[in-house]
Amino acid sequence: MPLCNFDQYPSFALVNACVVTCDGEGDSPRDRLGIIAPGVVLVQGEKVGCVGKVSDFSFDGSIQTIDVQGRLVTPGLVDPHTHLVFAGSRMDEFQAKMRGVDYRKIGQEGGGIMRTVRATRGSDEIALLKRLESRLARMLRRGVTLVEVKSGYGLNIGEEMRLLRLGKSVSEKVLDGNEVGVKQLPRTTTTLLGAHAIPQEYAGNREEYVNLVLKMVDLVSGHENGMRLAEACDVYIESHAFSVGEAKRILESAKKRGLLVRAHVGQFEDIGGAEMVAEMGGISCDHLEHVSDKALGAMAAAGTRAVLLPGAWRTLRQQAPDAQRMQRMGVEVAVGTDANPGTSPCFDLLVALGLAVRDAGLDPEAALLAITREAAEACGAQQAGRIRAGWRADLAIWDEVDPLVFGYALGGLEPRAVIIAGKWVLEHDGDWSLIFQ
């Protein structure tokens, strides 16, 4: 029996749930998880009507109630950092890396990011869209309802715009049933990453390429058919990519034009990018394998999130950053997949989370916050990452009863059902059996 037969946007209530709102106040992770058990989530149309204790509700039969038997109901998960629009694989580079070849050397010899740029430029629209949809469908099956999607494998105006348009077009898309059980894809929020690498055409003329990125910023911050192609602008700040000065020019222009600003910083060395992004009021600094106390202090003061990307430190065999140090200094931590064919062939946010707990020392109890509310803040997503009355009803129902499970399991968790904007978009039949009992 399917859990729910609703096709459109009716009202219904999930009752007897362990509701993990991720919307609590307080210093301890438990408080911030905001657990209400046994709880109710009332969904009205596309939104959460109210959330509360079972004892505060009485139902008169006018509304469908679904007894979830103590299971966890969480916000839909949020992946705050992906490079999902790409063609081709770099499996052979992975093999070389495992044999000890340096990632940056592979890039200098024509592989790396530029190899994916060539494959992506050569791939037609339909093929790119199919790949993107299939990756997003996999993410939905892990309970992810919102995904940040970067450009960055186009590196000229036409190609970068094409990738952003694809990233936007999948949002709201209802699938034709090709992906078993998935009726709709996660929503997306898009980020311009024109400053991902200097393309060969501009080798020897960096400034001209930076000027081209400034043109991209102009274009995406204008409106096309009433909408912006990107909500945010990202720069890869590293000595083999863009300098702090170059990034500052790009991000200042983006900020002036109303885009949110963020950056890849400290993946290989700390060249001062994090302070600059924090001082500009950036929403996130991502990677941070190398970061100074001063930069963390600036991030804490500005409310800039740290986005940990375990898939990348695992592929590059790096020492993980120290999440506890970040949190002690007042920096909120989010976790993303960094899904890309080079440094992070990972499409499973829950595996990334498990690695962040183990390798970076992220508190297992706080782990869920890193892929819900903090992830939403890190990518500037509105009405996402928390269960709150009046917000969009993006929810996941799990065959689990303790939120600690998200930091404990290393993958393998799948939601029983996923709801996006009040609509039942994925559901599994079968026994309600727990993995851990």
Which of residues 21 and 343 has its CB atom nearest to ligand NIG in the complex? Answer: 343
Query: Would you count residue 338 as binding Fe ion (CB under 5 A)?
Result: yes
Which of residues 145 and 343 has its CB atom nearest to ligand NIG in the complex? Answer: 343
Q: What does the block give as tokens for 264?
A: 């890849």
Nearest one of 268, 331, 328 to 302, comparing CA atoms: 331
DSSP state of 174: B
Place of tokens 């020019």: 249
Compute how many residues bind ligand NIG; rule: CB under 6 A. 13
Question: With contact defined as beta carbons under 8 Å apart, do 350 and 400 qualify?
Answer: no
Q: Which of 40, 139, 179, 236 binds ligand NIG (CB under 6 A)?
A: 236
Minimum CB separation of residue 432 from Fe ion in Å reads 37
Place of tokens 């996923």: 418
Query: Would you count residue 312 as binding ligand NIG (CB under 6 A)?
Result: yes
Which of residues 22 and 312 has its CB atom nearest to ligand NIG in the complex? Answer: 312
Phi-psi sector, 56: left (phi>0), alpha (psi -120 to 50), beta: alpha
Which of residues 192 and 420 has its CB atom nearest to ligand NIG in the complex? Answer: 192
Q: Say which entry of Fe ion, ligand NIG, none residue 342 contacts (CB below 5 to 8 A, set by partner kind).
A: ligand NIG
Q: What does the block give as tokens for 388?
A: 């709150």
Residues 329-358 that bind ligand NIG (CB under 6 A): 338, 340, 342-344
Question: With contact defined as beta carbons under 8 Å apart, do 305 and 281 qualify?
Answer: no
> Per-residue DSSP letters for 96-122?
HHHTT--HHHHHHTT-THHHHHHHHHT
Q: Say which entry of Fe ion, ligand NIG, none residue 236 contacts (CB below 5 to 8 A, set by partner kind).
A: ligand NIG
Minimum CB separation of residue 152 from ligand NIG in Å reads 7
> Per-residue DSSP letters for 116-163?
HHHHHHTS-HHHHHHHHHHHHHHHHTTTEEEEEEE--S--SHHHHHHH
Shortest Cβ contact with ligand NIG: which residue? Answer: 342
Q: What does the block give as tokens for 209?
A: 């390429």
Which of residues 304 and 343 has its CB atom nearest to ligand NIG in the complex? Answer: 343
**How many angstroms separate the CA atoms of 239 and 271, rounded?**
7
Minimum CB separation of residue 83 from Fe ion in Å reads 6
Residues 77-116 that bind ligand NIG (CB under 6 A): 83, 112-113, 116
Query: Would you count residue 179 as binding Fe ion (CB under 5 A)?
Result: no
Which of residues 343 and 383 has its CB atom nearest to ligand NIG in the complex? Answer: 343
Which of residues 114 and 371 has its CB atom nearest to ligand NIG in the complex? Answer: 114
Which of residues 51 and 326 has its CB atom nearest to Fe ion in the complex? Answer: 326
Which residues pair with residue 19 across a beta bridge? 36, 73
- Which contiguous run of DSSP H or E holds residue 324? helix 323-328
Minimum CB separation of residue 241 from ligand NIG in Å reads 7
Q: Which of 71, 264, 290, 386 binds ligand NIG (CB under 6 A)?
A: 264
Could you tell me the maximum CA-CA distance found in the chain, to the nearest angstrom?
72
Binding site for ligand NIG (CB under 6 A): 83, 112-113, 116, 236, 264, 267, 312, 338, 340, 342-344
Binding interface with Fe ion (CB under 5 A): 338
